[in-house]
Amino acid sequence: MKSLAILVAFLLISSIVSGPIALLLTRVKTNSRNLNVIRKIAVGLLALWGTLCGVQFTLAHAPLVIHLIGIFSAGISLYTVRIEFGAPRRFKGEKGLEED
């Protein structure tokens, strides 16, 4: 049971800190192309981990605090992905849900 508690604590802590760390990494700009690639990979992995843990905690049968941690984690991680890699773009001539 102790190992399960350690695993849950690791998941909670990593879920809480992965989004803000990835968000802070988006603020770091370098002139080196290699460092930018490494930074983008780190941001992507942290955001992926935060999103997966956040969705897991949001959908779990757990207390409200755990759901809020999951929503916070997934929200910050998805916001970080939007900042770092950009929002989805529409192609020229592509129509959305609205009709012209």
Which pLDDT does position 86 carry in this prediction?
84
For tokens 């849950």, name the residue: 8
Q: Is the pLDDT of residue 94 over 70?
A: no
Which pLDDT does position 98 carry in this prediction?
58
21-64: per-residue pLDDT in tens?
Answer: 999 999 988 899 999 999 999 999 999 999 999 999 999 999 99
Burial of 59 per CB tally in 10 Å (0-12, 13-18, 19+): exposed
Which pLDDT does position 29 carry in this prediction?
85
Q: For residue 55, report the phi and psi dihedrals to the nearest 5 degrees.
A: -65, -40
Query: What proportion of the chain, given as a percentage, has pLDDT over 70?
Result: 89
Q: Is the pLDDT of residue 13 over 50?
A: yes
